[in-house]
Amino acid sequence: MGFTAFMSSTFGRWARIVVGLVLVIAALTWGPIGAIFFFIGLMLISAGASDTCYFGPLFGRGFNGNDNRR
């Protein structure tokens, strides 16, 4: 599974964290619609920091990134 392997890799985790930070910072300037993007950004940051892949079960893999790298 290429997608889950990428998302579980170190680069994939850092990419989620960086994109989450960008969304959170941008959401602070977008007014009411920014609340949605703020929440999405927080979810990306938490998933990257905790080594969790939310899309893993959709591809027959687990939530834990360490399990997906095996």
Return phi, psi of residue 50, to 5°.
-95, 5
Could you tell me the pTM of the whole model? 0.77
pLDDT in tens, 18-37: 999 999 999 999 888 899 99
Q: How far is CA 59 from the centre of its chain?
A: 16
What residue numbers bound the domain in which 59 lies? Answer: 2-68
pLDDT category, 68, cuts 50, 70, 90? low
Q: What angle do CA 55, 34, 56 make, to 5 degrees?
A: 5
* β partners of residue 64: 52
Look at the chain and report how many structural domains it folds into: 1
Report the pLDDT value the prediction gives residue 38, as an integer from 0 to 100: 94
For residue 11, count other CB atoms closer than 10 A to its CB.
9
Q: What confidence tens digit (pLDDT) does each residue in 43-64 have?
A: 989 888 887 777 777 777 766 6
